[in-house]
Structure 1
Amino acid sequence: MTLKILTVVGARPQFIKAAAVSRAIRETAGLEEVMVHTGQHFDADMSDVFFTELDIPAPAHRLDIHGGGHGEMTGRMLAAIEPILISEKPDWVVVYGDTNSTLAGALAAAKLHIPIAHVEAGLRSYNRRMPEEINRVLTDHLSVLHLCPTQAAVENLSKEGVRDGVHHIGDVMYDATLFAISRAEAESNIFSQLGLTPKSYSVATVHRAENTDDPGRLKAAISFLQKEAESHPVILPLHPRTRQNAERMGIALTGLKVVGPVGYLDMAKLLNGAVAVFTDSGGLQKEAYFHRVPCTTLRDETEWGETITHGWNRLWQGPDFTARKEINEYGDGRAAFLIADLLKKSL
């Protein structure tokens, strides 16, 4: 008997995680995968390039849904995913992380009584102003299989009464990083494109709605980066929404080396050669650690508390770094194969 796994993705971090799990599914007998791409990240530089670089099979269904408010986007996705689930009749629906695509996929599956596996379950920032926090909490409480990257995530779920189907499997982002490092060194020419040398620059990203939609916070984040750029170049691959909002709010990006969105291999090489990372991205906080580069998070809290306690991360307006030590929670680079095995055995 072959189990059908329907995977819902829509944004850059999900492509990266799904790449690792898709490879594991292809190598596990008795599993087949159908991928749905909602289109939440629709720009070729933030979508198609990841499928090419990371050997992800072309999605069977592309919905091209993006733009609009959170409710509108999630509702359109929900309406579009439901008939696909009815037609495909999957045994599992797998969702990743905390985007609108995640919640839409989980809601559609739950209403059709299809079991949901949530990769990166149990993360909490405890900031309900973040749409990502709402998405991840609701998805966790709809899911049957909770695939947690850390023991803290397991404990967060336990506090909310979620204890069945909970597994600490490590972090698939670590799997993806190990896959990307050697390829990035061989294939990426981002250093020559940007005129960089290793360990002479920092990398920054700003894309979370809590920063980009608030003029005061966006101005403060950009000012923080401009201050850092006085001592060394700060490379800022700019999210399209951030660029549009900065222009609309009259916030100048002078002093920063602004570039367009970069592919995963280019970003892996940039991270590996950086002296520091500044970001409001959850995933990039961990990727910085995987490359052993100190990170400053441009937020007031983080769902990756172990990066703070182990000295590799700090909040931009919080205490300085603590003493650094290794983080042992993220696994050995085989989290994706643990996921595939659990999908096969848990039905």
Structure 2
Amino acid sequence: MLIDIIAGARPNFMKIAPIIHALQARQEQGGSLRFRLVHTGQHYDARMSGDFFTQLGIPEPDVNLEVGSGTQAEQTGAIMSRYEKLLLEAPGSLCLVVGDVTSTMACAIAAQKLCIPVAHVEAGIRSGDWSMPEEINRMVTDSISNWFFTTSEVANNNLRAAGVMEKRICFVGNTMIDTLLANLPRLQKPEFFDSLGLQAGGYVVTTLHRPANVDKGDGFARLLTAIAESARGLPVVFPVHPRTAKTLRELGEVPANFQLVEPQPYLEFNYLVKNALAVITDSGGITEETTVMGIPCLTLRDNTERPETITLGTNELIGTDPAAIRPAMDSLFDGQWKQGSIPPLWDGKTGERIVAHLERLLSA
């Protein structure tokens, strides 16, 4: 039984690592499942993908579709056509996709059109915001998947409401948290940490990349100013996403307490997060990591597909109005931020549960 594991963008690599490690462990015990790692090349910069293979112990891809840059439609078409060619030449028994990036949707479509079943890891999450490309990717992928591996009861309920049969839903937990827990002892201090004078609990980490926040210079500048002023003089470490870099160049300057750095490898980035006073972000995945590490997180979005990070975790959804940042930060500095807890099954064993389900499903 050959399973295609699809990865194409930075968020995917943290999610596939535990599944690959669990499959490798089962192979050593005589398990019958084999895997073929397919890298679509959606993220082709070493900082955005290559470092993750080394740091997370992921083997080099068996196949790289090398789609490169382009619009979402261009990338979708290129991934579908190149993955289809691979499947026609050497079909697998199952296509395993993770998350909600373009590669996830495109490979799911290509596989199903060739009657190859699809399993979706991180199925069922919804923001309700159709302006997000990721939301469209999630909905399309879930609409054509055969099996659904979920991170929360909220995701389970979303799938049930969409008519998915209970026997196709597997509540397994969160593979990204598997990766985090496995690597907490290995986190690495970034090279710039000491030279910038950073101290544990004495700085804020910011990540911003969503179009609504970064594509319009005036609005982006107001967000940066609000973050800088609310940090009460603390350094704000800002790993700059390639999308965000373009707008930053147009702005020309940033507030004085901002420290702009390159996108960080996994171990270095999570070292930053673990030792920060707080994180201000518009990412979804980071809110899961901050929840497990107990770091206060302010999400600059009007909705989230990960509500358990709010109801159970350390995350708060404060919207995109810059005026909302200062009151939230004041609450943090006044010691009034919630403690949070860890959601069910976010225990580091999700990869093992997924592989156990795959063995059962494919043997049947």
The structure with more radius of gyration: 2
Letter in 2 for 1:110: Q
1:38 CA drift (Å): 1.3
Q: Would the aligned equivalents of 2:291 and 2:313 in 1 still touch at CA under 8 Å?
A: no
The DSSP-based 3-state class of the residue aligned with 1:34 is strand
Matched, 1:46 2:44: no
Letter in 2 for 1:143: S
Distance 2:109 2:293 in 1: 35
Greater mean deviation of Cα atoms: 44-53 or 155-164:
155-164
Which residue of structure 2 aligns with residue 99 of structure 1? Answer: 101
Which residue of structure 1 aligns with residue 7 of structure 2? Answer: 9
Q: In 2 relative to 1, CA 229–41 (structure 1 residues): closer, same or farther, beyond 3 Å?
A: farther
Q: Would the aligned equivalents of 2:19 and 2:351 in 1 still touch at CA under 8 Å?
A: yes
- Correspondence 1:225-240 to 2 at 5 A: 225-240=227-242
Q: Would the aligned equivalents of 1:180 and 1:268 in 2 still touch at CA under 8 Å?
A: no
Distance 2:114 2:243 in 1: 34
The DSSP-based 3-state class of the residue aligned with 1:35 is strand
Distance 2:25 2:217 in 1: 47
Q: Would the aligned equivalents of 1:288 and 1:294 in 2 still touch at CA under 8 Å?
A: yes
Matched, 1:169 2:172: yes
1:337 CA drift (Å): 0.6
Distance 2:10 2:280 in 1: 18
The DSSP-based 3-state class of the residue aligned with 2:120 is strand
Which residue of structure 2 aligns with residue 254 of structure 1? Answer: 255
- TM-score when scaled to structure 1? 0.93
1:298 CA drift (Å): 1.2
Which residue of structure 2 aligns with residue 315 of structure 1? Answer: 317
Letter in 1 for 2:279: V
Distance 1:80 1:345 in 2: 30
Distance 1:203 1:266 in 2: 12
Q: In 2 relative to 1, CA 173–188 (structure 1 residues): closer, same or farther, beyond 3 Å?
A: same
Aligned residues: 343
Q: Would the aligned equivalents of 2:152 and 2:171 in 1 still touch at CA under 8 Å?
A: yes
- TM-score when scaled to structure 2? 0.89
1:110 CA drift (Å): 1.1
Which residue of structure 2 aligns with residue 326 of structure 1? Answer: 341
Note the aligned Cα RMSD (angstroms). Answer: 2.0
Which residue of structure 1 aligns with residue 200 of structure 2? Answer: 198
Q: In 2 relative to 1, CA 234–4 (structure 1 residues): closer, same or farther, beyond 3 Å?
A: same
Which residue of structure 1 aligns with residue 115 of structure 2? Answer: 113
Task: Return the match for 1:302 from 301, 304, 307.
Answer: 304
1:223 CA drift (Å): 2.9
Greater mean deviation of Cα atoms: 46-55 or 325-334:
325-334
The DSSP-based 3-state class of the residue aligned with 1:333 is coil
Gaps of at least 5 residues in structure 1 are none
Which residue of structure 2 aligns with residue 340 of structure 1? Answer: 355
The DSSP-based 3-state class of the residue aligned with 2:15 is helix
1:323 CA drift (Å): 4.1
The DSSP-based 3-state class of the residue aligned with 1:296 is strand
1:10 CA drift (Å): 0.9
Distance 1:251 1:113 in 2: 52
Q: Would the aligned equivalents of 2:224 and 2:255 in 1 still touch at CA under 8 Å?
A: no
Letter in 2 for 1:304: R
The DSSP-based 3-state class of the residue aligned with 1:45 is helix
Distance 2:271 2:210 in 1: 23
Q: In 2 relative to 1, CA 311–58 (structure 1 residues): closer, same or farther, beyond 3 Å?
A: closer
Distance 1:17 1:234 in 2: 28
Which residue of structure 1 aligns with residue 25 of structure 2? Answer: 27
1:194 CA drift (Å): 4.3
Q: In 2 relative to 1, CA 217–260 (structure 1 residues): closer, same or farther, beyond 3 Å?
A: same
Gaps of at least 5 residues in structure 2 are 329-335
1:251 CA drift (Å): 6.2
- Correspondence 1:138-287 to 2 at 5 A: 138-163=140-165, 164-184=167-187, 191-192=193-194, 194-215=196-217, 217-248=219-250, 250=251, 252-255=253-256, 256-287=258-289
1:219 CA drift (Å): 3.3
Q: In 2 relative to 1, CA 331–227 (structure 1 residues): closer, same or farther, beyond 3 Å?
A: same
1:200 CA drift (Å): 0.9
Q: In 2 relative to 1, CA 217–336 (structure 1 residues): closer, same or farther, beyond 3 Å?
A: farther
1:271 CA drift (Å): 1.2
Distance 2:120 2:69 in 1: 24
Q: Would the aligned equivalents of 2:172 and 2:353 in 1 still touch at CA under 8 Å?
A: yes
Distance 1:95 1:266 in 2: 26
